[in-house]
Structure 1
Amino acid sequence: MKLVFAGTPAVAVPSLEALVQAGHQIVAVLTRPDAALGRRRVMTPSPVAQRAAEMEIPVIKADRVDPAVTEQLEACDPDVAVVVAYGALVPPGALAVPRHSWINLHFSLLPAWRGAAPVQHAVIHGDDVTGASTFRLEPGMDTGPVYGQMTEVIRADDTSGSLLERLAVSGAELLQRTLEGLENGTIAAVPQSGEVSMAPKLTIDDGRIDWKQPAAAVDRKIRGVTPEPGAWTMLHAERFKLGPVTLDNGGPALQPGQVQASGDGKAAFAGTGSGNVRLHRVQPAGRKFMPAADWLRGIGDGVVFQ
């Protein structure tokens, strides 16, 4: 089929590649404009734009689907449009352009975790299983009828980043099966059913750790916001970043936020509302990530996270 592919981050690249390999004709890629990245704020194309350029696919860069973009899509005359984490809503006028509408690959088992950050919320809330869904796009937020789903177990050490990497690959396979079913008429969309939960985009403030929470909640929160927006706490009136921790009641009995080394100095522990977590990698303000034990050895005990 003739496809328009809308996507922006690296997690969308496996889907683009899978559709090309399956023999679909990608007539255009819609992605967000170049963004300033790094300390030098260099304007950089999105991962999807970069991969599309390598495959010599025409690229449309836009931060929203306005009438001008809709005209470009109409000129492409697509059979179907595919969305994988494009980053903006598609208005009704554009929804009507493809003959088979728009198919969205969403990284949750809809109607669970509708919204921009489904994987992060699944990890933070302690879900045992998540997955991906393909559904027909509607004006509502992830409300359209579902074509297919696949499941993925959330591992005890998963961050949202590691989980999303797996879902990007398995989700691409689901997307290809969905388009195959549409092409040969063997698939139909089914209305969503079950309990609805929302997964709004996370901000930097959402990454702050509350050390009064139970250790398991602290662990899930840190893994859920890794790598984005990142976990942090306050130390000496500066933001102090945290890598994933492990549940570990070894070491001394600590108050929430209190940090102390193990007796041999080879491990660093932080207290929570119910036991300790073991710190592994930390990033003090103005420095790079380093082993937590090395950092604590350099400043000594008596540290309390705020």
Structure 2
Amino acid sequence: MLKVLFAGTPEVAVPALRRLAGDHEHFEVVAVLTRPDAPQGRGRKLTPSPVKEAALDFDIPVLECDPKEPTFVAELKATGAEAGAVVAYGKILKEDVLGALPMGWYNLHFSLLPQWRGAAPVQRSVWSGDTITGATVFKLTRGMDTGPILAQSTCEIGAHDTSGDVLSRLAEDGSYLLASALTAMAEGRIVLQEQPQGAYEVAKKITHEDARIRFDVPVFAVDRQIRACTPEPGAWCMLHPHGAGDGLQRSVRADAAEASSNAERDMGDAEPFHVLKAHPADTNDPQIPTDLKPGMLASSKKHVWIGTASAPLELEEVKAQGKKAMRAADWARGARLSAGACVD
């Protein structure tokens, strides 16, 4: 039986922890490493991470100390762990920590490495239009997601999948992959494969400003951006219910500082508007307006469209400022939009 220390933080890491903790034949999860309780919600109440909550369900000891602290290596060794399993922990483990466990540390990463190393592999994969992604179990080394590979599995990205949809499937499938890879490693039945050398795209974290929707691009690109940013950090734009003057002629800001400045300026005559679900409109439908400029809104009794640089985007579910999430058509009926209503 392999004694494992599990390191993880968000909900996406919970299936792997539950898989290892529930497999009493092959694993003993001796401790869980996660972030300290953090303030959340309007009341800023201290809230444990999803991984900590799962660990407490299994009565597993929880470590919330920073791996950079001088005493951490001693605490780590005191757990008796032989190997570490990492899923979306969120902190970099330094060389002394990586060398503290006799069998090393193994990470479940949600991409087909070496492609999409970094913090947001699924989001970047969806945004780029990939149709296939997957999960990789690899041994942690000093480089960012560059260690030798134990196992991989693939997963399709559907035409309407959000990053949340794909992550949910990968979290579940990846839990089996991690458990089987660690078992094979402990039993000496696996040969680590070095990752091929080359230039690969890095999956940088998607910021709030990155998630501001661009409408001056073809509809397929708008659709990918929205799906990539759903549910986190959330795709959004500024709604001008009575028109925005030259707003349709302004290109969407590529520079983050300029975007922030313009967003603050817009707040006086506009409001944030979140798109929760949308899809490229069916251009064969005669109801669909074909002359919408990028960002221009149009609606019928059952539909809401936004113009892009190509075909319109049809909204399905939205969340206006101060409102609950609702069907786009229901929102439009109550929003009292003018003929020049638009978003940017």
Q: Shorter-chain TM-score: what band?
A: over 0.9
Partner of 2:305: 269
**What one-letter code is carried by the residue in structure 2 that aligns with 1:132?**
A
Q: 2:21·2:58 contact (CA, 8 Å) conserved in 1?
A: no
- Please give the per-residue CA displacement for 1:254-302, whole angstroms capped at 9, x wherever unaligned: 110001013xx11000111111111011111122111111221221343
> 1:63 offset after TM fit, Å?
4.9
**Helix, strand or coil at the partner of 1:280:** strand
- Identify the residue that residue 8 of structure 1 maps to in structure 2: 9
Is 1:220 the equivalent of 2:221? Answer: no
Whether the aligned pair in 1 keeps the contact of 2:120 and 2:205 (CA below 8 Å) is yes
Match of 1:87 among 66, 85, 90: 90
Over 3 Å counting, the alpha-carbon distance change for 1:84 and 1:270 in structure 2 is same
Query: Do structure 1's residue 74 and structure 2's residue 77 form an aligned pair?
Result: yes
Q: 1:226-271 CA distances to partner (integer Å, 9 max, x unpaired)?
A: 0000000012432211112111134112110001013xx1100011
The match for 1:32 among 15, 23, 35 is 35
Contact 1:65 1:89 in 2 (8 A): no
CA contact under 8 A between 1:112 and 1:195: conserved in structure 2? no
Instruction: Provide the secondary structure at the position in 2 that maps to 1:245.
Output: strand
Q: Does 1:206 align with 2:215?
A: no
Q: Is the 8 A contact 1:258 1:305 kept in 2?
A: yes
TM-score, length-scaled by structure 2: 0.86
Three-state SS of the structure 1 residue aligned to 2:145 is coil
Given that 1:78 and 1:97 are in contact with CA atoms closer than 8 Å, whether structure 2 keeps it comes out as no
Which ranges of 4 or more aligned residues in structure 1 deviate by more than 3 Å?
62-65
The equivalent position to 2:273 in structure 1, one of 229, 233, 240, is: 240
1:9 shift after superposition: 0.6
Within the alignment, does 1:281 sit opposite 2:311 as a pair?
Answer: no
Q: Is there any run of 5+ residues in structure 2 with no aligned partner, and where?
A: 241-269
Q: Distance in 2 between matches of 1:256 and 1:6?
A: 45
Q: CA deviation at 1:68?
A: 2.3
Hey, what's the Cα distance between the residues in 2 that align with 1:81 and 1:181?
A: 15
In the alignment, is residue 46 of structure 1 matched against residue 49 of structure 2?
yes
Q: How does 1:13-24 map to 2 (within 5 A)?
A: 13-23=14-24, 24=27
Percent of matched pairs sharing the same residue: 46
Deviates more, 1:2-11 or 1:246-255: 246-255
**Aligned partner (choices 110, 117, 120) of residue 117 of structure 1:** 120
Counterpart CA distance in 2 for 1:273 and 1:238 is: 23
Q: Match of 2:267?
A: none
- How many angstroms apart in 2 are the aligned matches of 1:170 and 1:258? 41
Q: Secondary structure at the match of 1:179?
A: helix
**1:174 is aligned to 2:177:** yes
Amino acid of the residue matched to residue 202 of structure 1?
Answer: I
Q: Can you list the C-alpha shifts for 1:109-146, whole angstroms capped at 9, x where unaligned?
A: 00111001000000000001000000010111101111
| Structure 1 unmatched runs, 5+ | none
Report the AA paired with residue 3 of structure 1: V
Which 10-residue stretch deviates more, 64-73 or 44-53?
64-73
Q: How much has 1:195 moved relative to structure 2?
A: 5.0
User: Which amino acid letter does the alignment assign opposite residue 97 of structure 1?
Assistant: A
Query: Which of 89, 100, 103 is the matching residue for 1:100?
Result: 103
Distance 1:155 1:195, change over 3 A: farther
Alignment: residue pair count: 304
2:253 corresponding residue in structure 1: none
Measured after TM superposition, the shift of residue 39 of structure 1 is 1.8
Pairing 1:252–2:302 present: no
Q: For the Cα contact (< 8 Å) 2:138–2:147, is it kept in 1? A: yes
Using the alignment, how far apart are the partners of 1:196 and 1:267 within structure 2?
Answer: 41
Measure how far apart 1:22 and its partner are: 1.9
In structure 1, how many angstroms separate the alpha carbons of the residues matched to 2:141 and 2:181?
Answer: 17
